[in-house]
Structure 1
Amino acid sequence: MPIARKDAKSHARETMRGIWAAALTPFKDDMSVDEQGFRANLRHWIDDLGIEGVFVAGKQGEFFSLTLPERKRLFEIALEEAQRKPGAKAGTIMSCSDQNMDTVIELAKHAEAIGAESIVVHAPVLHFLKAQDDTLYEYYKYISEQVNVGIAMWSHPDSGYLMSPELCARIAELPNIVAIKYSVPREMYARLTRLAGDKLIVSTSSEDEWFDNMVELGWKLYLCSAPPYLLQTKYDRRMREYTDLVFSGEIDKARKVRDSLEPVRAAIRSTCPPEKPQAHSKYWQDLLGQVGGPVRRPMLQMTDAEKLATREAFLKCGLQVSAPAHKATSAA
């Protein structure tokens, strides 16, 4: 049943919790979208890794190289997979970000029409402006009036500016503005957390900061980036483990589990070429047995040398990618 605009905030508070991940878009060698690969990844993330929600067709997902029909189709697939198991529905947040307002609205209305409960819209690049606050308020106000779905803002240096905590709190007064992915320095998102209270769910994409934000700021939602499925396997769910430990109040145990993942983080950081984040993450997915594949232009592919260095680091990082021997023996 559709969520009324006036109920969007309370609904988001009830449903947008835990670990949400930003999906990469798998492509085949002919550069078409690998729909079956996308479904396989979603099932693995939801069923095996315990990821509670998925961010669809955003910057991680190379939305800038996708056609409008492809973006809509990814929305549909994600929603189908998220609702595949009755009583165990995962969340989705559909990325409607675009420089063209008509495209934003078309995508938002499509998301609403197929039954999505939330969308995210990146703050636009604003050319020539020396100030942005009134423009951005009207931008999000207009979008919020077009649909009933919950809307997450998204502020990132890529826009050429950062939305201030005060502006975000002002926009959060709109009835169906429910969350923000706030890719800013910690003092800014901590301030917004205090300013907005229950009017806005504040999150940032950094897994490095997730533990501290749960413990010190009381956050219950991690929205969104690729670490939930790059740092974990079916047999090694340490991010899920430390998150659950924090939620249950076992902070010291959680800290030890969080710290144990540092070799994995270091392996990813040290081998990711500066201009190839999606290509590197997709190759890491391939090493994990997920479906990665190539990237589309303008993104650059990994070289053989870069793949070799990444594979060597992957093999040494300590991620458990198969069942322990004793479990395999007992299962046999």
Structure 2
Amino acid sequence: MLKPAGIIPAMITPFDDNQNINESALRLFVRRFIAANVHGLFCLGTNGEFFTLTMEEKLRVAEIVIEEAQGRVPIYVGAGCVGTQETAQLAARLEQMGADALSIITPYFLTFTQQELIGHFRTVSEATKLPILLYNIPARTGNTLLPKTVMELSKVPNIVGIKDSSGSFDNILQVLEQCDPDFAVLAGTDSLILPTLMAGGHGAIAATANVFPEVVRSIYDLWLQGKPEEAELSQRKLRTLRSAFSLGTLPSVLKEVLNMLGLPAGDPRLPVQPLSPTAKSELKIVMGPYVSEGVIK
């Protein structure tokens, strides 16, 4: 069974001027990532605006990414929905389509008990033979997967890891301490990629990899090569971009950066608005040093 590891971009979903999926742009992004030698692709996550997509659109995005990748890298697809039955049905469909692994976010809107969350993930895991990554992002869902809960779920044969986007390094450490070493712990907060690797983690699903996938990948590669100081230099390069995310509602800043670079990300889907002219001007100033220093071309 697939063992998640390395740097996996948390892909945006490009839209055209009519807010429809820009299929040719999506294919372009897949090719760009593969050319950057990333270790997998993750579509239909938070930065992919899965929460605004219809079921048909989700399936189409997954279909395009799987088709364009042509088996060259593992494809992780977000299958999380609010309801357990809907999530299980989507998981089964994605398996039929050829996904390599699934990411299942915690249910959202209501606050659930840990036992309810365990029941949700166990039921979904029974609907598919694919490896499953738990997705913990409490700031967005209002639900936290506690380390003890993750340990319990790690005993399910096809639950193979977690994307932890809690922003809490202590939470990551507790998961690493309580779970088997083979259980993949991936940073979902880009500032914690190197610390997670140093603590025994396995990589990251990274939003900033949309912009400079080679830089983010180098954090992992340099760490594996026994060059932690150089890996730290690469890690530091992410800080300015991550700080700029506060200029707009997710993922408006990320999309605007890509548009500025000539990559057809389009606007975020409503109700998220594109950046204001003032914010765009600030973002250009932020991105200037990245261009002048050759970090991005």
Shared fold (TM-score greater than 0.5)?
yes
Count, aligned residues? 293
Percent identity of the aligned residues? Answer: 22
Q: Does 1:12 align with 2:5?
A: no
- The residue aligned with 2:281 is 308
TM-score of the pair, normalised by structure 2: 0.92
Q: Does 1:62 align with 2:62?
A: no
- The residue aligned with 2:62 is 75
1:66-215 matches, within 5 Å, as: 66-83=53-70, 89-125=72-108, 127=110, 132-157=113-138, 158-184=140-166, 185-198=168-181, 200-215=183-198
- The residue aligned with 1:4 is none
Give the counterpart of 1:280 among 228, 238, 253: 253
Structure 1: distance between partners of 2:285 and 2:109 = 42
State the shift of 1:254 in Å: 2.5
C-alpha deviations, 1:187-241, integer Å up to 9, x for none?
A: 11111112111352112212211112212x222221x131112235xxxx33323
- Say whether the 8 Å CA contact 1:152–1:177 is kept in structure 2: yes
Letter of the 1:239 partner, please give it: V
State the shift of 1:319 in Å: 4.0
Letter of the 1:45 partner, please give it: F
TM-score of the pair, normalised by structure 1: 0.82
Structure 1: distance between partners of 2:109 and 2:275 = 32
Gaps of 5+ in 2: none
Determine which structure has more spread, i.e. the larger CA radius of gyration: 1
Give the counterpart of 2:11 among 5, 23, 38: 23
- The residue aligned with 1:258 is 235
- The residue aligned with 2:243 is 269
Letter of the 1:113 partner, please give it: Q
Structure 1: distance between partners of 2:296 and 2:244 = 20
- Say whether the 8 Å CA contact 2:222–2:231 is kept in structure 1: yes
Cα separation, partners in 2 of 1:229 and 1:127, compared to 1, 3 Å: closer
Structure 1: distance between partners of 2:94 and 2:182 = 23
Structure 2: distance between partners of 1:119 and 1:128 = 23
Cα separation, partners in 2 of 1:74 and 1:245, compared to 1, 3 Å: same
- Say whether the 8 Å CA contact 1:271–1:310 is kept in structure 2: no
Letter of the 2:2 partner, please give it: A
- The residue aligned with 1:7 is none
Structure 2: distance between partners of 1:240 and 1:108 = 28
Structure 1: distance between partners of 2:193 and 2:217 = 12
Structure 1: distance between partners of 2:93 and 2:8 = 21
Letter of the 1:278 partner, please give it: P
State the shift of 1:112 in Å: 0.5
Equivalent position SS for 1:277: coil
Structure 2: distance between partners of 1:67 and 1:267 = 30
State the shift of 1:21 in Å: 1.1
Q: Does 1:297 align with 2:287?
A: no
Letter of the 2:124 partner, please give it: I
Q: Does 1:227 align with 2:172?
A: no
C-alpha deviations, 1:245-282, integer Å up to 9, x for none?
A: 110112233233433x1xx5325514642x42211100
Letter of the 1:172 partner, please give it: S
Equivalent position SS for 1:55: strand
Letter of the 2:127 partner, please give it: Q
- Say whether the 8 Å CA contact 1:231–1:265 is kept in structure 2: no
Structure 2: distance between partners of 1:267 and 1:128 = 32
- Say whether the 8 Å CA contact 1:271–1:309 is kept in structure 2: no
- Say whether the 8 Å CA contact 2:191–2:235 is kept in structure 1: no
Gaps of 5+ in 1: 1-10, 323-332
Structure 2: distance between partners of 1:279 and 1:91 = 27
Structure 2: distance between partners of 1:251 and 1:45 = 24
